[in-house]
Structure 1
């Protein structure tokens, strides 16, 4: 009997143990499910937060900044006596200026020259042999009075806008029974209004298969050339865009087209964003946007470059190589964005120093391979003549505007980046030249320019299209506007 009781007790204990095991298993399973649920909840929250951050940081479209059309950039005491008349203006290279230039040249000639390294070309900057080539051409072959007449072949004017005396060139077409469309051409740095001298007559000449021509307005940006600079800080591209819009309104244009390159692209793009009811179309030869989705897309595109641009992906990748180029070649922009007045003093003291500084930027951005040529590509580009380039330098030298022109780099602020995140509805067209260092493919450009009407791509040309390829630029502007009008 006792054995039987022991067996029954053992069976009972085994049942209890089995039951406890099942209970423990259920408890563990419940805890496991609970733990998974907590983990999934945490992961979901993290994903949601990350998604929200990506949206707010990358894809969120900010509000349009407040626009004050009447900010005064001139001396305060001139507000009550502002002259808004449009006054004829003539470019003069004075005898006093020429005498000063001769003295500066004589001083340069007497200086002991430091020679560049052998076989370094322009990799250390402008080569000494090229420097002397520039100096010799400017001193002996550049005909100042002849160039003065060249500058005055078009009508020039000045008018006061927001306290600044602005210079602009106005070229009207001589046609009948043809639509005349106003267009403003915006230069950048270190170019000037001189950049468009070969383009303007092409735009004002009637063409077969086109029922329109242009009336061309070419301003000197505030602080550039013959346009007065601001007397206080803050006149960045955002504010310059407002000044340019007010200039066009002053001339009677409430509907107009805009073309820009370099800083002209930045300013023109802002005009299109701020004033979409006025800007009929925007054309640029710098296919660039700093819209965050575009920048983000460019970085991700490094994994599969051809998905962004199957034909021209080499223009933006390998990413490391392109970034290294910009780091090497854009040191000047950091200097000008921090201490423009310091370098300005130096450049204003030496015409040859000013010329070499400007030539270096123009030649390298025309073709990066120029740095491996001893003459920097001077014989290869711009018809092998330095006349056009010296003309541009003369604009800065005569007006002593190199310092005020460079200040635009320092005046760039967060508002310009905000405006880059706001899509513009204005029809847009890009001219994409082979050696343009700031290039984005159509897929990425559309984040900023959803109404991208078209692009034109060539296997030649560089950053300063108006100087190097005026015919191509004029042809493309006609083509773009014809497409936009249809």
Structure 2
């Protein structure tokens, strides 16, 4: 596999030079890409990285006919320390690789906390080393059912969840379907689409103070900027939702195309202004980290099946469930990085999650916060779960 990969990289056709004065505004800069390709083929330490990627215990279990790959890390702590189950969920174009820096932080006890986490991190069906579906329809709602079965099979009838990207959509579905299971839901990048959310957003365009705090208004308004940004950056979403297999063929066959497509998202989604930088701002991550993540897709040949989640999620069947219009009272904690794809204020988030205990707003960071700033996310997760446990203790006393 490695020799074949190197041959494909080294024999790629000459890339079209970028236009004069263009950095990443047209997509991934081909001059910058050549540096990543050279590193991947000539310097990336495959054997060493294989050991790194296998550092955590990994398992597979069959759920509804699909083998689901997952990492399970148990903390090594004294018996007096409470161990809490934490399900952490990734999305696209990420993978389990996003969690390798944060898992040790979550499984080690911290001062001022009398608990620590046992972490369960599954690869989404169709991603990485989890089986792909053979028929259409496997979307976030169906994955929510599968993840619940996974947690029950592991012996956890109640658990906490941390999620971002598609993981947040799946965790919202779990919290909606099975509120009795979820002790607390932590989301970085929470986004809801209730019947009133768009109306509130539009109303805020005329009266921002009714919807969002004044010092955060520029994250949502003016609406002209918001709509322009959506049109400019979300063409991929329409493509994946309509013809995923067409683009999937090219990305599955070409490591060059796969690298460009995935790395461009790590540039723009970390900070939209990175598109104006010659290097795309990718120095927020190491080259090893970024190539590790691509290897999850290349090694398993899963990019095509992974992007099908968009088609399944935006199918008429899935949209008809209208899950965001079913409120959930599961204790919720939201973290919003400054450069998250979209900002939604608590006034909108609470239309779906009626029991938001806290809303952490960062003045830094982007979409891949677990990958970019694991220390920050881990600290927030500990704070959230402490608040969740206090919430449940308080309710027990009232009962």
Please report the TM-score for the alignment, with normalisation by the length of structure 2: 0.95
Residues 129-181 of structure 1, C-alpha deviation per residue, up to 9 Å, x if partnerless? 11111112212221000000001111000010000000000111000111110
**SS of 2:282's equivalent?**
coil
Following the alignment from structure 2 to structure 1, what is the Cα–Cα distance between the partners of residues 271 and 387? 30
Query: Contact 1:129–1:374 (CA<8 Å) still a contact in 2?
Result: no
Equivalent in 295, 304, 321 of residue 394 of structure 1? 295
**SS of 1:182's equivalent?**
strand
**SS of 1:254's equivalent?**
coil
Equivalent in 163, 173, 178 of residue 75 of structure 2? 173
Following the alignment from structure 2 to structure 1, what is the Cα–Cα distance between the partners of residues 166 and 279? 27
Query: Contact 1:196–1:467 (CA<8 Å) still a contact in 2?
Result: yes
Equivalent in 356, 362, 365 of residue 458 of structure 1? 362
Per the alignment, residue 292 of structure 1 pairs with 195
Following the alignment from structure 2 to structure 1, what is the Cα–Cα distance between the partners of residues 380 and 23? 34
Query: Contact 2:89–2:121 (CA<8 Å) still a contact in 1?
Result: yes
The yes-or-no answer on 1:254 pairing with 2:157 is yes
**SS of 1:435's equivalent?**
coil
The yes-or-no answer on 1:482 pairing with 2:383 is no
**RMSD of aligned residue pairs (Cα, Å):** 1.0
Per the alignment, residue 260 of structure 2 pairs with 356
Following the alignment from structure 2 to structure 1, what is the Cα–Cα distance between the partners of residues 309 and 346? 28
Per the alignment, residue 370 of structure 1 pairs with 274
Equivalent in 381, 387, 404 of residue 305 of structure 2? 404
The yes-or-no answer on 1:425 pairing with 2:329 is yes
Per the alignment, residue 274 of structure 1 pairs with 177
What does residue range 92-131 of structure 1 map to in structure 2 within 5 Å? 97-108=1-12, 111-131=13-33
Question: 1:106 deviation in Å?
Answer: 2.2
**SS of 2:326's equivalent?**
coil
Query: Contact 2:204–2:212 (CA<8 Å) still a contact in 1?
Result: no
Unaligned runs of 5+ in 1: 1-96
What does residue range 100-249 of structure 1 map to in structure 2 within 5 Å? 100-108=4-12, 111-176=13-78, 177-249=80-152
User: Which 10-residue stretch deviates more, 300-309 or 230-239?
Assistant: 300-309
Query: Contact 1:180–1:215 (CA<8 Å) still a contact in 2?
Result: yes
Equivalent in 309, 331, 338 of residue 212 of structure 2? 309
Query: Contact 2:271–2:366 (CA<8 Å) still a contact in 1?
Result: yes
Structure 1 segments of 4+ aligned residues over 2 angstroms from their partners: 413-417
Question: 1:127 deviation in Å?
Answer: 0.8
Per the alignment, residue 334 of structure 1 pairs with 238
**SS of 1:411's equivalent?**
helix
Radius of gyration: which is bigger?
1
Following the alignment from structure 2 to structure 1, what is the Cα–Cα distance between the partners of residues 29 and 368? 21
Unaligned runs of 5+ in 2: 391-399
Question: 1:112 deviation in Å?
Answer: 2.6
The yes-or-no answer on 1:347 pairing with 2:251 is yes
Query: Contact 2:10–2:41 (CA<8 Å) still a contact in 1?
Result: no
**SS of 1:287's equivalent?**
coil
